[in-house]
Every structure is written in structure tokens, then in C-alpha cells.
Amino acid sequence: MDQRVEWTEETKQNATEMIQQAIIECRDSGGGRVIVKPGIYVCGTIHLEEQVVLWLEEGAVLLGSGEIEDYPDNETCFTDAVGHVRGKALIYAYQKNGVGIDGPGMINGRGYLYSEDHPAHKIRPFLVRLVECKDVVIKQTTFCNASAWCIHLQDCETVLIKQVKIHSRCNGNNDGIDMDGCQDVEVTGCVIDSGDDAICLKSTSGRSCGRIQISDCTVTSRWAGFKIGTESVGDFFDITVENCRFFDVEGGAVKILPVDGGNVNHVVIRNVEMISCTGPIFISNGTRLRRYLTVKKEHPGYIRDIRLESITAMVKAAKGGWYQGKVWGNAQGGVVLSGLEEYPICGVTIKKCHFFMPGGMKEKIEKEVPPMGDQYPEFHLFDPLPAWGMYQRDTRDVTVEETEWVAKEKDIRPIMVKEECNKETGNREETENEI
């Protein structure tokens, strides 16, 4: 049975209890919608309940509280990749089925209140966090100004995220949609403008992340468009990204980085347009092997069966600078496939792609490209690459068909360099002319 929440003067201060009570009454009556009427509702943590959809009408705005005490800890809090304790959330559910957020209204976390000089910066809340939930639907709603990640799904099954809008660049770690150990997920028709990874797949509990379909999305990001990893102790399988547009993306448009021992098997990236993106494609495994909860892998994972098809990329040069106390340069490269000697990247097909690269290097690169090792993986660490189009190391069975690389400025480096590829050791191959 539907329940309705009406705006009052009191909701300007704190509407948490009123909305929560409506959700409980809706659950107790067998489920349905909690319809939030137009108005501004200041809230702390709201818990979704079984078979209840939070429906926001046009003009309804849930506004995150500016008091960190209004976001209590919960049973699923965890430590993220940069050492911050995460898990607090504005909208939260744990082991609830049939939950959802729908309607043309807005959820605004006011994340700018928790800037780096705020005492609660390292425990600032997510906008939405759903853990071990099934049959989840998130549609139509606009999500903005998350304090940390925007939508975080952990170990969820059968999820539809459709036609949502995300605008979140007000704070650090402003990921758009994070799917951690999730299966049977469809993300379609979404528009994402994020400060960090726009769409990111993770696996921190050891549970595999798979059967993920991402389509018809438009993405811009201050750091990474689509990413697998870095948190990657579990496996990733059957992942498709198609009919998407990436523009003005720093840090790489597409990144596949299972550096904690997880395996990646069968990823398809096709019919994708990239405009003014760095990278654009960075695929690498490494030996970080970080422990998550009680799970730690003893050796790296493999990357197999990757298909890149009908990609058109207008690539810009990456910026230099500093990150976490280290100098990050400009790798000045395009497609990067960097495996490990004992765990090479196997079975990559690049077909009908067009890469328009910045080029412009005046001197040939003679120094050895450093291994990824146990560092946080970014292609900047390879600065600079010896090829302007594509660099391969420790790969097997890579096929390039009907694909072109074009340099905007003349570049003395070869188009492609292969090291330790399809042979035992000690080989290097350069492709000077068109492929």
C-alpha cells in the first residue's frame, strides 16, 4: 500500500523520522511505494525496507543533513582503498529484497559540507548504499553532491539502474556507480558527471562480479570513465559496455585493473565513442594483492578474452602532476596491455577501432618501462611509453583487425611496441608503419 509524505515547515530541519515511519508502515502493509511530495526534506540516514520503493515526485528533494551524527555506523562499514572508513549512507539497506528508488525528484547529499578540512571527512557518508539486496530498481531520479561515492551496491543481485542522472564533483572519491561483487546488473540510459570513477566494478568480499550489462550511457569524469578494479580480490566475468559515450575524461576512459588476485574473463567494449579522453584504454594486472576483510589472494589473477570493437577515440594528452606524494608524468600512449610474465594477458581482439592520438614526442624512448608491481595502478606510472599508439607487454594472442591509429602531431616513436609477447622472453617488436 502506498504511503505519502507531505512537505511541512518542519521537514526543512529534519524529515528523517517522518520518512522512515512511512517506509515502515508501507512494509508492514505488504509493500508498495512511499511517495514523497514536492518540497525540501532534510534527512539523515533512511533505511529502505523489504518490498518498498522510495518514489520522489517532481520537485521533491531529499537534502543530506550537515550533521555527521545523523549518519550512524551500520553493520557493513568497511575500510576503502585509500584507508578511509566507509559505509555510512543517506539511503541504506542491508539484506532487503525488492527495494528501489524511483521518480523524477532529487537526492542531494550536500557533500561539499565534508571537504578535506572537515573533521568528519574520512567517514563522510555515501549517497546510496545497498548491501546483499536482491531485485533492486533505481530509476529516473537525479543524484547529486555525494559526500563520497554516489551509488554503492555491494553483493547485490538482479539490479536495474535506468535513466538516472548523477552530478557529483564536490568532494574527493566522488564515484558515480560502484558495483562490488554484484551479479545480474543492467545499467542503461544513464547520464553521469562524476569527480572519480564514473562506473566502477569491484570485488572486495571475494564474491565474483559478473553478468553486468552497461549500455546507452553518457559519461564525463574528472578521473576514469569505466573501470574494473582496483579492489579486486574476487573474479569478474561476462561484462559488456556498449553504445556509450565518454567525453572530457581524465585518468583513462576504460581501465581493467585486477591487481589483488581476481581473474577477469570475457569483457566486451563495443560501439563506444570517446571525445577528449586520456588513455584511452589501460588493461593491466599487478601484484598489489591487498587483503579485504578476511580474503587475500596469494598470487595475481589472469586477464582473458577481451574484445574491443567499433571504438572511436579522440585522445588528449594526460596531465602531469602529483598524486599521494608521487610525481605522475604523461605516459603519452594510447592502448596499453601490460600483463605479467607468469600471468600474461591472453586473447584480446581489437577490431574496427579508430584511435586519434595526440602524438608530439620529439625523442625516441630508450629506457625500460617500469613494471606495475604492487603500486596503485595508473598508466601514468609508465611515463613515458615507447609507442604513441599501442604498448604491449607479456601478452598472448592479441589480434588487431581493421583498426587505425592517427597521430595529431608527428611522433618519432613507433605506432606499436611489443615486449615479451607470444614468445618466451627477451623479445621486442616495433611497428613503424600503419597497422
Q: Give the model confidence (pLDDT) of 353-376 as tens digits.
A: 999 999 998 888 888 888 888 988
Report pLDDT digits (tens) over 232-268.
999 999 999 999 999 999 989 999 999 999 999 999 9
Asked if residue 328 has pLDDT above 70, the reply is: no
Between these two residues, 198 and 329, which has the higher pLDDT value? 198
pLDDT class for 7, splitting at 50, 70, 90? confident
Residue with cell 608503419: 433
Residues 398 and 350 sit within 8 Å (Cβ to Cβ): yes
pLDDT digits (tens, 9 = 90+) for 307-321: 999 999 999 987 777
3-state secondary structure of 336: strand
Residue 426 pLDDT greater than 60, yes or no: no
Q: Which three cell numbers stand for residue 348?
A: 584480446
For strands 321-323 and 326-328, give the pairing. antiparallel
Backbone angles phi, psi at 19, to 5 degrees: -70, -40
Question: Which residues contact residue 252 at a Cβ distance below 8 angstroms, ignoring those fewer than 6 apart?
Answer: 224, 225, 227, 277, 278, 279, 280, 281, 282, 378, 379
Q: By the 8 A CB rule, do 286 and 377 touch?
A: yes
Query: Which class for 240: exposed (0-12), middle (13-18), buried (19 or more C-beta within 10 A)?
Result: middle
pLDDT tens-digit map of 369-422: 888 889 888 888 887 889 999 999 999 999 999 999 999 999 999 999 999 998
Mean pLDDT across the chain: 92
Q: State the Cα–Cα distance between residues 295 and 381, nearest whole angstrom.
A: 27
What's residue 325's pLDDT? 66
CA distances from 254 to 79, 280, 331 (A): 25, 6, 15
pLDDT tens-digit series, residues 56-81? 999 999 999 999 999 999 999 987 66
Mean pLDDT of the 270-286 span: 95
Assess whether pLDDT exceeds 70 at residue 435: no
> pLDDT, tens digit, for every residue of 10-36?
666 789 999 999 999 999 999 999 999
pLDDT value at position 22? Answer: 96
Q: What is the pLDDT of residue 432?
A: 67
- pLDDT for 149-165, tens place per residue? 999 999 999 999 999 99
- Please report, as a single letter, which amino acid is at residue 107: I
Distance CA 347, CA 336 (A): 14
Beta carbons within 8 Å of 88's beta carbon, 6+ residues apart: 45, 68, 71, 72, 73, 74, 77, 123, 124, 125, 126
